[in-house]
Chain A
Amino acid sequence: MQELKALSEERAPKWLIGLTAIAFMAVAGAQVFGFITSPAAEQYQHSQKIMYVHVPAAWNAFLAFIVVFWASLVYLWKRSEGADLLAESAAEVGAVFTGLTLLLGSIWGKWAWGVWWTWDPRLTSTAVLFIIFVGYLALRSFTEDPERRATWSAGVGIFGALNVPIVYMSVRWWRTLHQVQSSPETMSAEYVTALRVNGIAFLLLLVAVLGWRYRAARIQRRAEALHEEAILEGRQVHV
């Protein structure tokens, strides 16, 4: 099978390798930048630096779920395989960043609030978002028929992504322990700059991991399709 052989030998695109290297260096560099330029905050002391990983992780999670939302809609509309694989990739990446956000928030909470966890609406809705996408991934792994899997998970993906605005607005809509979003007016300039730098670095990381996850899914799916094609055409196949 020429095509399968070519597929198995396909090299990762250069831009993806380059972007990954840049993203790792950017994150490390942004963190060093944050540590050097941010003086200990009033009251918060150095714990303020946790913001540079917690907040970008949350932004990445939100962005990943927006990708899930969009890709799921495209799938339902056009039935394109690529959209389904992109939704799957973004869902996994989003779940990882949501998990990271929860862990980092917990560390922050223990220091600043005095508790690792509390069932306030922000924390609860974030946990719900996490559980929905873990469920999304479980649903995918349990459903074997590709079309049914894609349709069902598109539904769950859209539904799950609708929680992003709920999580985001939870601190304004309900009473929470979690503070409302900061803005450049509520933060000293050096913190705003460092947070932005770290946010951009994390964004590069998001694109990179999404790229790799999508690549793996595409090769896997393409191999399955080529194999099936070969069987249907009655060619000799080894397994």
Chain B
Amino acid sequence: MFETDVNVWNYVIGAYAVSWLTVIGYTLRLWVLNRRASRFAAELGGDV
């Protein structure tokens, strides 16, 4: 009924982009956390 300039694909692509950014961003955080924990153990063990 209403002709709008808004392209529905902008929203769809935006939603999937937000999803992947969140998932990849959180995966990076987990990678950092795991590496940091191992380093922490190494430091306490006098390995560094």
Stretch in contact with the other chain, from A6-14, A131-139, A184-192? A6-14
Which chain B residue lies CB-closest to A45? B8
Neighbouring A residues of B18 by C-beta, 8 Å: 100, 103-104, 107
Instruction: Name A186-239 residues within 8 Å CB distance of B.
Output: 205, 209, 212-213, 215-217, 219-220, 222-224, 226-227, 237-239
Neighbouring B residues of A8 by C-beta, 8 Å: 38-42, 45, 47
Known: A100-B22, A213-B30. A223 touches B12 (CB 8 A): no
Chain B facing A: main interface SS: helix
Known: A209-B26, A216-B34. A227 touches B15 (CB 8 A): no
Which chain A residue lies CB-closest to B35? A216
How far does the Cβ of A229 sit from chain B's closest Cβ, in whole Å?
11
B9-25 vs A, CB cutoff 8 Å, 1 = contact: the mask equals 10110111011001100
Known: A53-B16, A103-B18, A216-B30. A46 touches B8 (CB 8 A): yes
How far does the Cβ of B16 sit from chain A's closest Cβ, in whole Å?
6
Which chain A residue lies CB-closest to B11? A111
How far does the Cβ of B37 sit from chain A's closest Cβ, in whole Å?
4
- Complex CA–CA separation, A99 to B43 (angstroms): 34
- Complex CA–CA separation, A158 to B13 (angstroms): 36
- Residue A49 CB within 8 A of the other chain: yes
How far does the Cβ of B13 sit from chain A's closest Cβ, in whole Å?
10
- Complex CA–CA separation, A54 to B38 (angstroms): 34
Contact indicator B19/A104 (Cβ below 8 Å): yes
- Complex CA–CA separation, A239 to B48 (angstroms): 9
- 21 example contacts (A-B, Cβ-Cβ < 8 A) are as follows A1-B44, A4-B42, A4-B45, A4-B46, A5-B42, A5-B45, A8-B38, A8-B41, A47-B11, A57-B19, A100-B19, A104-B19, A107-B15, A209-B26, A209-B27, A209-B30, A213-B30, A215-B37, A220-B37, A223-B45, A226-B41
Residues of chain A at the chain B interface (Cβ within 8 Å): 1, 3-5, 7-10, 12, 27, 31, 45-47, 49-50, 53-54, 57, 96, 99-100, 103-104, 107-108, 110-111, 205, 209, 212-213, 215-217, 219-220, 222-224, 226-227, 237-239
The 3 closest A-B pairs by CB, nearest first: A4-B45, A8-B42, A8-B41
